[in-house]
């Protein structure tokens, strides 16, 4: 099971998808209130409990890991501060080594969380190909930084609401993008799987409705491209982020040595866009109002 909040929970979602899709290991996200509020008698023996955190100081992450460890579960913390209370609570610690996160909204620690999750998955199964692709990831991230996503600035600078769409391993990136639009730009961004959006959420889409669609390589790409075309026919203002071979894209995605790592490069490009959109809206993306670096929920 995974245990995380906010951006870290999106990284946990990515890791869970890797483990389930590649290796057939079922993974669930723990509702922390089962432990902190409801005191549910969870069966923890034999469970692998993975927690991800930038600060390692949120009480609602620490207590569940303590419970799983006492209950003879295997506890692992992917945490940026290896001296934090969460690192102490877990049996095993995998430091993210992102360095100090100076902004309130996590960025580089999120990318390190995704990379660490992929490395964990590769090591668990002895996947030499994924391990080799991870060695090449820094170069792919540099390439992602160099891509021009400025077409998205004008489309989103005046937006008050929007949708962010993804699927598969890319859904975690869509989740992160929607959160960052809320945090740094004050845009009411909602995230949906491309399968979900064709149900109730479709009713929200009208002329000019902004929509960002992440379509990296992989089994989900064709369906995402088709959805983008359908939404454009409805009058939505669609920004399709896709690989260079997709002619109808508005934003270009970098590729990596593995399709499963492409979402990491995608969020690297996205962060440059969302910073520019925030500044175009007259906001400081490093210091969003009403937010703190550590959220002390129970």
Query: Is the per-residue pLDDT at 201 higher than 80?
Result: no
Query: Which fold does the domain 2-135 belong to in CATH?
Result: Rossmann fold (3.40.50)
The confidence score (pLDDT) of residue 42 equals: 96
The confidence score (pLDDT) of residue 199 equals: 75
Question: pLDDT tens across 119-176, in order?
Answer: 999 998 899 999 999 999 999 999 999 999 999 999 999 999 999 999 999 999 999 9
Coil, strand, or helix at residue 239? strand
**The domain 150-280: what is its CATH number?**
3.40.50.10490
The confidence score (pLDDT) of residue 293 equals: 54
Q: How confident is the model at residue 198 (pLDDT cuts 50, 70, 90)?
A: confident
Question: pLDDT tens across 258-289, in order?
Answer: 999 999 999 999 999 999 999 999 999 888 77
Count of positions (residues) in the chain: 298
Domain(s) labelled CATH 3.40.50.10490 in the chain stretch across 2-135, 150-280
Question: pLDDT tens across 60-96, in order?
Answer: 999 999 999 999 999 999 999 999 999 999 999 999 9
Tokens encoding 239? 């920004």
Cα–Cα distance, 140 to 65 (Å, whole number): 34
Cα–Cα distance, 273 to 152 (Å, whole number): 7
DSSP labels, 59-73 = HHHHHHHHHHHHTT-
Task: Please check whether residue 41 is in contact with residue 20, taking contact to mean a CB–CB distance below 8 angstroms.
Answer: no
User: What's the pTM value of the predicted model, to 2 decimals?
Assistant: 0.93
Planar angle of CA 233, 276, 237, nearest 5 degrees? 5
């Amino acid at each position: 099971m995974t245990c995380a909040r906010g951006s870290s929970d999106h990284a946990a979602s990515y890791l869970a998808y890797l483990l389930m899709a590649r290796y057939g290991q079922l993974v669930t996200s723990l509702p922390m209130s089962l432990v902190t509020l409801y005191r549910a008698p969870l069966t923890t023996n034999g469970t692998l409990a993975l927690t991800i955190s930038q600060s390692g100081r949120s009480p609602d992450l620490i207590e569940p890991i303590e419970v799983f460890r006492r209950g003879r579960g295997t506890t692992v913390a992917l945490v940026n501060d290896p001296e934090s209370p969460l690192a102490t609570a877990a049996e095993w610690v995998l430091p993210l080594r992102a360095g100090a996160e100076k902004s309130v909204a996590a960025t580089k620690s999120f990318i390190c969380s995704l990379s660490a999750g992929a490395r964990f998955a590769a090591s668990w199964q002895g996947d030499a190909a994924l391990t080799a692709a991870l060695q090449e990831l820094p170069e792919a991230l540099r390439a992602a930084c160099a891509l021009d996503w400025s077409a998205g600035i004008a489309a989103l600078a005046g937006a008050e609401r929007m949708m962010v769409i993804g699927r598969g391993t890319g859904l975690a990136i869509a989740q992160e993008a929607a959160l960052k639009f809320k945090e740094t730009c004050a845009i009411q961004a909602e995230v949906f799987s491309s399968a979900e959006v064709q149900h109730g959420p479709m009713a929200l889409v009208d002329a000019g409705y902004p929509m960002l669609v992440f379509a990296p390589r992989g089994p989900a790409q064709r369906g995402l491209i088709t959805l983008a075309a359908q939404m454009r026919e409805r009058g939505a203002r669609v920004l399709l982020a896709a690989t260079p071979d997709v002619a109808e894209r508005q934003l270009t995605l970098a590729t990596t040595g593995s399709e499963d790592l492409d979402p990491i490069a995608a969020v690297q490009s996205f962060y440059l866009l969302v910073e520019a959109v925030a500044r175009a809206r007259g906001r400081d993306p490093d210091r969003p109002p009403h937010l703190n670096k550590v959220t002390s929920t129970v």
